Structure 1
Amino acid sequence: MGTDYQQARADLGIRLRELRLTAPGGRLTGTQLADRLGPGWSKVKISKLENGKQTATADDLHAWAKGTGQPEAYEELLARLRGFESHIRSWRRQLSAGHKPVQDAVTVEHERTRVLTIWENCLIPGMVQIPEYARHTFARHADLMQSPRDTEDAVRARIQRQKGLYRPGRKYKIMMWEGALRSLICPPSVLAAQLHHLSGVIGLDTVEMGIVPFSASLKIYPGNSFWVYDERLVVVEDWHAELWIEEADSIATYLRVWRTLSESAVYGADAQNVINRARRALSAG
């Protein structure tokens, strides 16, 4: 559990304590509140919730708001709880020791996953990157975030994870915007080699690769990148942080976005044609 998550839970605990101490009929002790709330409640549970040592449920928050005589506070408390379901992992904290620890954390999730669903709008996904392409992406991100450079260790960790592509029983549903094929985050020669590798990945029986061409008619705009792990976790990258989302309704939303985008994607030989078109554009340049 990340530090950001712990801080959010501690902040909720402070708010719960405020409600207990400002009850309309006068401040309540932990024991008094537990007695009001009934079976399943104790002074110990009250203390754990207020000190951020236990995560409240929606039912806990509903009971707390009602028990402190402030039922109108429930919606606010519930909104705070929903924030827990998006674990905010700031890049500043994650990258304090470099990129490799971040890669290692993601590898743990990959090992647990049988179906990985990926949408990328601006980069070739890490699961199918070649080392030189990965090297440039890590170096540029480290420069931007002003984080320690452990580029080679990070590259090795990412490439090691790609062994999953060759394991029976795994499925990688990878989809990307054509712009990912053309983003010059690296020298043209490296991108050309990366696109050549990508063409070969299309033939793997563990991979279902789609590309949304620039010319496609879209039902939804090609927004930010995300990865869905077995319908239990979504990881979304932003400039300041990663969001690790475990709330079922939000996961369903991301899967719905993926399916909607996939209606505009091409596969197989048609996907190869889009890749080849991007390679020819590099040669022409």
Structure 2
Amino acid sequence: MSTDFQQARIALGLRLRELRAEGGLTGRQLADRLGWPQSKVSKLETGRQTAAHDDLKAWAEGVGRPNAAPELAARLRVLESHSRSWRRQLAAGHRPVQDTLTVEYERSKVMRAWEGSMIVGMLQTPDYARHVFSAYADLHQSPRDIEDAVRARVRRQESLYQPGKRYHIVMWEAALRALVGPPAVMAAQLDRLSGVIGLNTVSLGVVPFEASLKLPPANGFWIYDERLVIVEDWHAELWLDQSDSVALYRRVWDALAGTAAYGPDAHRVITRCRRALGAV
């Protein structure tokens, strides 16, 4: 969890405590009024739990300050600009998440990606994407709008062919070898990667297993026009727009990209991964 995110959550908790005190309520009295466990009031006030929008509205009404609800909602939006939990994002399925990301791709000219565990979404085949979305829907117990999500992801890939766009994508060899789908799906996916090499809008690098790494492979992330970084974790996405954070991730990307194979060398790594699948 980012320091900025935690500080914002603590600041929101202090404001909630202030409003409760101004209303002349103890924590237990407010919990009873709202029908919550007292522990929830305590966690929200101390920044140990992230409030939902409905929580903040109920809090404002419970302390007799319904006019404070817009202020609290604004504070939460600032907090969520740093961390967007998958539980909330996927409440309506994967399709809305894909649509939100598409906006960032459309407004960006130069994008850089690092991925060490699976094929980046912009290069996924429909079958590969289908297995990814199914796995995450099971993990997060979210609505299974798999086909809508696949279509949204594939449509976004049209920007790979738009003049003026530039994609710098680097992946670890492990991402090419991870059997996210059955061998036939993986074979088609690797063939897709081979077909991308040579596009004048895409620079595809693969860091082979034998490369001497300047940094350990870690979380995947995208950098959009040096203005925004989106980092994916199991529980949430981090959306970072502070200049120092963006600069840090750019240094990480540069270090990893500097060890990657490109062009014919990248094609050779992809080919040996393809051969490892056997006769498919």
TM > 0.5:
yes
* Alignment partner of 2:13 out of 11, 14, 24: 11
Q: 1:52 to 1:133 in 2, by over 3 A?
A: same
Aligned equivalents of 1:213, 1:12: Cα separation in 2: 49
Q: 1:111 aligns with which of 82, 106, 112?
A: 106
Work out whether 1:153 is the aligned partner of 2:148.
yes
Q: Output the amino acid matched with 1:145.
A: H
Q: Say if 1:112 and 1:16 are closer, same or farther in 2 by CA, change over 3 A.
A: farther
Q: Does 2:194 correspond to 1:199?
A: yes
Asked whether the 8 Å contact 1:85–1:245 carries over to 2, the reply is no
CA distance in 2, matches of 1:272, 1:153: 32
Q: CA deviation at 1:263?
A: 1.4
**Structure 1 residues 182 and 53, CA gap change in structure 2 (3 angstroms):** closer
TM-score normalised to structure 1 length = 0.74
**Whole-angstrom CA distance in 2 between matches of 1:177 and 1:86:** 29
Structure 2 alignment gaps of length 5 or more: 23-66
Of 243, 268, 272, 1:273 maps to 268
Please report how far the alpha carbon of residue 87 of structure 1 lies from its aligned counterpart in structure 2 after TM superposition.
Answer: 1.7
Residue 138, structure 1, aligned to residue 140, structure 2? no
Q: What CA distance in whole angstroms lies between the structure 2 residues aligned with 1:156 and 1:97?
A: 16
Contact residue 228 and residue 235 of structure 1 kept, 8 A: yes
Partners in 2 of 1:261 and 1:237 — Cα distance? 17
Of residues 154, 157, 161 in structure 2, which corresponds to 1:162? 157
TM-score for the superposition, normalised by structure 2: 0.75
Matches within 5 A, 1:3-152: 8=9, 10-11=12-13, 13-14=15-16, 51-52=71-72, 84=79, 87-152=82-147
Q: Identity over the aligned pairs, expressed in percent?
A: 58
Provide the C-alpha distance between the structure 2 equivalents of 1:183 and 1:234, rounded to a whole number of angstroms.
25
Given residue 228 of structure 1, which amino acid in structure 2 is its aligned partner?
A: I
Check if 1:282 corresponds to 2:277: yes
Amino acid at match of 1:260: A
Q: Per the alignment, in what secondary structure is the counterpart of residue 84 of structure 2?
A: strand
1:186 aligns with 2:181: yes
How many Å separate the matches in 2 of 1:177 and 1:97?
32
Which is further off, 252-261 or 275-284? Answer: 275-284
**Count of residue pairs brought into register by the alignment:** 231
Structure possessing the higher radius of gyration over alpha carbons: 1
Q: Which runs of 4+ in 1 moved over 6 A?
A: 15-18
For the residues of structure 2 that align with 1:249 and 1:15, how far apart are their CA atoms?
32
| 1:118 partner letter | A
RMSD between aligned residues:
3.0
- CA displacement at 1:51 relative to structure 2: 4.0
